[in-house]
Amino acid sequence: MSSNPLNLAFRFFLELAGLAAIGYWGWNTHEDIAQPLWTIGLILVAAVVWGTFRVPDDPGKAPVVVPGWLRLLIEIVYFGGAVVLLNAAGQPNTALILGIAVLVHYALSYDRIRWLLTER
């Protein structure tokens, strides 16, 4: 189920929503020069971490190969962090919607989670 094109599109949307949530927090919780620095800086850090650490047979290149459990942990921190930051920026309802959407995605991707947990 995790490789279904609709689920992959949903995952891509969630990845972009995570970046948007991170940027929203940076923009709305800081002022002056810190505002664009936190907004752009945190988005860049999140995107670099997301794209750098991969398991060997996951889609895309694997610049830094990590075990499946570590990749899953990175994803949990990324999406969980986006939800927490969105809530901290004063958007609890939107954070709840994003959190539920992420949980739905991972429920649909049970086969990928099982694979990540067994991938060495």
> How far is Cα 35 from Cα 27, in angstroms, rounded to an integer?
5
Mean pLDDT of 91-99: 97
pTM reported for the whole predicted model: 0.90
Q: Which residue has the higher pLDDT, 89 or 4?
A: 89
Provide the number of structural domains found in the chain. Answer: 1
pLDDT digits (tens, 9 = 90+) for 8-62: 899 999 999 999 999 999 999 888 998 999 999 999 999 999 989 988 877 777 7
CB 8 within 8 A of CB 112: no
| Residue with token string 């930051």 | 85
CB 105 within 8 A of CB 10: yes
pLDDT at site 60: 74
Q: What are the angstrom distances between the C-alpha of 52 and each of 18, 38, 48, 86?
A: 17, 21, 6, 24
